[in-house]
Structure 1
Amino acid sequence: MVWLMVVFSGLAALLSVFIWYLEAFSWDKQATKVFGHTAKEAQSTKEIAFNLGFYNLFLGLITAVGLVLFFFVKPAGVALIGAGLGSMLAASLLLFFTSPDKRAAAVKQGFLPLLGLIFLFLV
């Protein structure tokens, strides 16, 4: 069970780092295809996306640090993994319920954190 938690939590952290890259550095390029916005929309929302990307980076880093700590200071690791994955899952649920046209993206965004949390609670 521990390794399943590590794998899904690690993948969720990597996904958050990838989203950070898209939002912070590729918002008007590759991200237009991923998120479905136009080049004009990208230009008018670039600063907001840059800031938002760093929230995703920090959630990924919190989870990654938690994974390392899990093997040395288990309570601290569990707390950080839970905080990182819980925040990722909460964000995906918010997207799911507030933007019906983005439900598929919300499911993709929340799937790995959900599995990571399930296995975290089973450890």
Structure 2
Amino acid sequence: MLTAGVIVAGLAALLHVYIFVMESLTWTSARTRATFGLTADEAAATKELAFNQGFYNLFLAIVSGIGIGALLTGHTAVGAALIFAGVGSMLAAALVLLLSSPEKARAAVTQGVFPLIAVVLLAVGLV
């Protein structure tokens, strides 16, 4: 279970790196605007906010990645703590999105499914 949890946590981290790219680097592109359902004017008006938000996603991915590295090199307690901090925060953010904007449920589920699975698998694997 621990190995599966680490793999899913890695997938969650990769997804959040992709979200970082969309929010911080390609926010005003046609493809990213379509993904987020934004007009060109809306994307331009929110570009600075999205840039900042994208970095939050990147930092969560980095924390998770460092945790995975620590766990795989035998530092189980530190690695697990960092992975739980990273994917737990990803899961919490997905829940906030779901509760604050129910019309964005699909995005919330996309953002939160890997972190949820990772939390469960890691918890079971560490018991």
TM-score of the two chains, using structure 1 as the length reference:
0.97
Identity %: 46
1:48-94 CA distance string (max 9 Å, x none): 10011000000000001000101221100000000000000000000
- Distance in 1 (CA, whole Å) between partners of 2:37 and 2:71 is 37
Structure 2: segments with no counterpart, 5+ residues = none
Q: Equivalent residue for 2:23?
A: 23
Q: Equivalent residue for 1:43?
A: 44
- Distance in 2 (CA, whole Å) between partners of 1:118 and 1:35 is 29
Q: Does 1:95 align with 2:97?
A: yes
Q: Equivalent residue for 1:70?
A: 71
- Distance in 2 (CA, whole Å) between partners of 1:33 and 1:10 is 26
SS at match of 1:4: helix
Given residue 108 of structure 1, which amino acid in structure 2 is its aligned partner? T
- Distance in 2 (CA, whole Å) between partners of 1:34 and 1:10 is 23
Given residue 32 of structure 1, which amino acid in structure 2 is its aligned partner? R
Shift of 1:22: 0.2
- Distance in 1 (CA, whole Å) between partners of 2:61 and 2:49 is 19
Q: Equivalent residue for 1:81?
A: 83
Shift of 1:7: 1.4
The number of residue pairs the alignment matches comes to 123
- Distance in 2 (CA, whole Å) between partners of 1:2 and 1:101 is 34
Structure 1: segments with no counterpart, 5+ residues = none
SS at match of 2:46: helix
